[in-house]
Chain A
Amino acid sequence: MKLTLKIWRQDSAQAAGRFESYSLDGAGEEFTLLEALDKLNDTLVETGQVPVSFDSDCREGICGSCGVTVDGVPHGPIANTPSCRQHLRSFTDGSTVTLEPFRSGAFPVVRDLAVDRSGLDRIIEGGGYVSIDAGTATDADAHQVSHETAEAALDFAACIGCGACVAACPNGSASLFTGAKLMHLTLLPTTRQERGQRAVGMTEAMDEEFGPCSVIGECVEVCPAGIPLTAIAGLNREKLRSVLRGKAS
């Protein structure tokens, strides 16, 4: 199929960006979006031009490295699917597809379609970990966790940290990410000693670089991990709990 790719080109964080159009010929419908970019880059390199920068790693939807904005939608036209799993069959032959970086005040452009999402890492640094020496695996029954709780924790743990929720949010909020990263720990008994301070630390780190949540819900439309808005209510609940309780646990 034949597509016109209108791609955001920007040489550095400081440089002004611009759109440039490229025509892509001979890509198959079964190509992923990133494979289409690979193909384009091959031609650009062959003709002595600078290839388009973009992030990716696993290309199977588990690492969270990829992420471009496609026709204004973070990740692409298929809901809840990362850029690496978006396919050209979503586009009509001959159409123009606009590719931009993830847009957010907290995600400075590194180059072209690649952005700096390290703000999300700093939220994790705020408390998204468990500081106990886990040692070897304990007996399976040492901690009684109900099946539902374990499943819920696993569902929140599915967040791949791609940042699409931030890019989708009109407030530039990272609440869905932070809620997922907080709740998957909070639900499990082994993380209890730091429950309060984790909620405070992660919320503070989040507020330093990201916006407040107005429960608009655009994030859940794009999240490739299917994290529900409940994560955000959980984040607020944990913060409220820590304020009322005033303890680290």
Chain B
Amino acid sequence: MSSRARTTARRPLLSNFVCKTVMALTGLIFSAFVLVHMVGNLKVYLGGEHFNDYAHWLREAFEPVLPYEGLLWVLRLALLASLAGHVACAALLWRRARVARGPVRRRHAGWRSFTARTMPVTGLVLLFFVIFHVLDLTTGTAPAASGGFEAATVNTSHAYENLVASFQRPLAGLFYALAMIVLGLHVAHGLWAAANDLGATGRRFRQVAVVVSGVVALVIMLGNISIPIFVLIGVLK
């Protein structure tokens, strides 16, 4: 009988606890960001001018305390660092889980754990989406961006026109809608996982956390998804 010898020798530099805490905190940062980002996106319904003014304001916010695009760069760097931490820890945990599981796959008990089991998959789709999204509407790099992309200048932004031009391509609009469903799934389980990873034991708090996770995910998903749909059916143009 082989009783496994205790391997006190090597302890990984980043323990599971560190990885989980990093994932939870960066995941919460992302969730807060996508929620605020969605509220900003909904300004498309107030008209192109209003939307472009908002996009322009983001660039010159808090001048002269911050330089031009200062706020944007603070956010970009914070999000980039979070993304690096989130993805690196996800990869480490995924690897360790595979080793611990052993060669035999589990037969899963049903749909209740669907969002949880698909976290690595939805996460990878999101990673691809994030890259595509930046190339499409921030840098305007073809083929992600539409032919009509116009970069922002110091005086004005063409965010509204760029957005509509991008979503008028059916494949791009559809991909955005699909990515938002995937985002909803990821956030729904992610927020609940974060509550657990950060040690939420109170009964009341846990009940609230379950509901908030679902509602926030649904709001982010539906709020964003409405935009490509309204562009595709020609309401936004």
Q: A residues near B, CB below 8 A?
A: 13-14, 71-73, 103-108, 110, 116, 118-119, 122, 168-173, 203-204, 207-218, 221-222, 229-230, 232-234, 236-241, 243
Q: Which of B19, B100, B103 has the most CB of A within 10 A?
A: B100
Q: Are B199 and A173 in contact (CB under 8 A)?
A: no
Q: Which of A107, A212, A230, A241 has the most CB of B within 10 A?
A: A212
Judged by a CB distance under 8 angstroms, whether B235 is at the interface is no
User: What is the CA–CA distance of A203 and B108 in the complex, to the nearest angstrom?
Assistant: 26
Judged by a CB distance under 8 angstroms, whether B186 is at the interface is no
Judged by a CB distance under 8 angstroms, whether B3 is at the interface is yes
Residues of B within 8 Å of A173, CB to CB, are 97, 100
In the complex with contacts A218-B106, A229-B196, A208-B7 CB distance below 8 A: yes
Q: Are B100 and A119 in contact (CB under 8 A)?
A: no
Residues of B within 8 Å of A215, CB to CB, are 116, 189, 192-193, 196-197
Partner of A233, one of B96, B97, B200: B200
Judged by a CB distance under 8 angstroms, whether B206 is at the interface is yes
Taken residue by residue from 52 to 88, chain B's Cβ proximity to chain A (1 for < 8 Å, 0 otherwise) reads as: 0000000000000000000000000000000000000
Known contacts A209-B100, A222-B109, then 4 further A-B pairs from the complex at CB < 8 Å, ordered by chain A residue: A105-B103, A172-B102, A212-B100, A215-B189
User: What is the CA–CA distance of A234 and B8 in the complex, to the nearest angstrom?
Assistant: 25
Residues of A within 8 Å of B108, CB to CB, are 170, 218
Q: Are A212 and B19 in contact (CB under 8 A)?
A: yes
Residues of B within 8 Å of A14, CB to CB, are 2
Residues of B within 8 Å of A108, CB to CB, are 2, 4
Residues of A within 8 Å of B105, CB to CB, are 170
- Nearest-neighbour CB distance to chain A for B91, whole angstroms, equals 12
User: What is the CA–CA distance of A14 and B197 in the complex, to the nearest angstrom?
Assistant: 37
Residues of B within 8 Å of A71, CB to CB, are 107
Q: Are B97 and A170 in contact (CB under 8 A)?
A: yes
Instruction: Give residues of chain B (1-37) contacting chain A, Cβ–Cβ below 8 Å.
Output: 1-4, 6-8, 11, 15-17, 19-21
Q: Are B199 and A236 in contact (CB under 8 A)?
A: yes
Residues of B within 8 Å of A211, CB to CB, are 96-97, 99-101
Residue on A with the closest CB to B189?
A215
Q: Are A116 and B3 in contact (CB under 8 A)?
A: yes
Q: Are A240 and B199 in contact (CB under 8 A)?
A: yes
Q: Are A233 and B4 in contact (CB under 8 A)?
A: no
In the complex with contacts A73-B107, A103-B106, A237-B201 CB distance below 8 A: yes
User: What is the CA–CA distance of A212 and B100 in the complex, to the nearest angstrom?
Assistant: 9
A-B pairs, top 5 by smallest CB distance, nearest first, are A237-B199, A211-B100, A72-B107, A105-B102, A172-B100
- 12 residue pairs from A and B, CB less than 8 Å apart: A72-B106, A118-B3, A119-B4, A171-B101, A172-B97, A172-B101, A173-B97, A212-B96, A214-B93, A216-B116, A234-B201, A237-B199
Q: Are A105 and B101 in contact (CB under 8 A)?
A: yes
Residues of B within 8 Å of A106, CB to CB, are 4, 100, 102
Judged by a CB distance under 8 angstroms, whether B104 is at the interface is yes
In the complex with contacts A207-B15, A212-B20, A170-B193 CB distance below 8 A: no
- Nearest-neighbour CB distance to chain A for B205, whole angstroms, equals 9
- Nearest-neighbour CB distance to chain A for B80, whole angstroms, equals 24
Q: Are A214 and B116 in contact (CB under 8 A)?
A: yes
User: What is the CA–CA distance of A6 and B211 in the complex, to the nearest angstrom?
Assistant: 43
Judged by a CB distance under 8 angstroms, whether B134 is at the interface is no
Residue on A with the closest CB to B113?
A216
- Nearest-neighbour CB distance to chain A for B95, whole angstroms, equals 10
Partner of A214, one of B7, B21, B97, B104: B97
Judged by a CB distance under 8 angstroms, whether B119 is at the interface is yes
Q: Are A217 and B97 in contact (CB under 8 A)?
A: no
Partner of B117, one of A13, A72, A216: A216
Q: Are A13 and B1 in contact (CB under 8 A)?
A: yes
- Nearest-neighbour CB distance to chain B for A109, whole angstroms, equals 9
